Amino acid sequence: MSEPNYAANIIATLATLPEFLRKPMLSVRISEFPGLPKEEQIDIIRNALDASPTIEFDKFAALLQTWLEILSDQTADDRRALLDAYAGEILSDPAKLAQLHMDGIVGVFLKLDTNRQNVIIATLRSILNDMSDADKARLILLMPDSIKQMLNI
């Protein structure tokens, strides 16, 4: 018998909340992330990547929009810690990226104002620049062309 996916349930619930409730809850979780033990960070990212494809995309898009806005407001180090953890999990299990609706995710990203986009893009570029050549090459191979264009790759 499989364990219930609590992360999926929590993420699905967050996705259905109105923004005025969702935003402070996500903000707290995002700001706590860098201080968590590495194992817990990995579990959170793994669960989020597993849960995301199970949520109706319109609900997921609202959640993602809020998440990206909060992420862009974090310090550079905190933003990097979170995005670096996502990159690491994607490198360890590339199939997780294939399960995501990347065109939709890119569409949500493009709805952010330009300043927020630039902040996140700068962090992603920094993460890529600091990766080993092998990891960087693997991650770039996994990226859709639209993301490569945004990152000028």
The overall average pLDDT reported for the chain is: 91
Using one digit for the tens of pLDDT, what is the confidence trace for 42-78?
Answer: 999 998 998 888 888 998 999 999 999 999 999 999 9
The arithmetic mean of pLDDT across residues 93-102, rounded, is: 91
Is 66 in contact with 26 (CB distance < 8 Å)? yes
Tokens linked to 94: 């590339």
pTM of the predicted model as reported, rounded to 2 decimal places = 0.90
Phi-psi region at 152: left, alpha or beta (left = phi > 0; alpha = psi -120 to 50) = left
Asked if pLDDT for residue 7 goes beyond 70, the answer is no
Tokens linked to 25: 């809850």
Give the pLDDT score at 2: 47
Give the pLDDT score at 4: 57
- Class of residue 72 by CB neighbours under 10 A (exposed 0-12, middle 13-18, buried 19+): middle
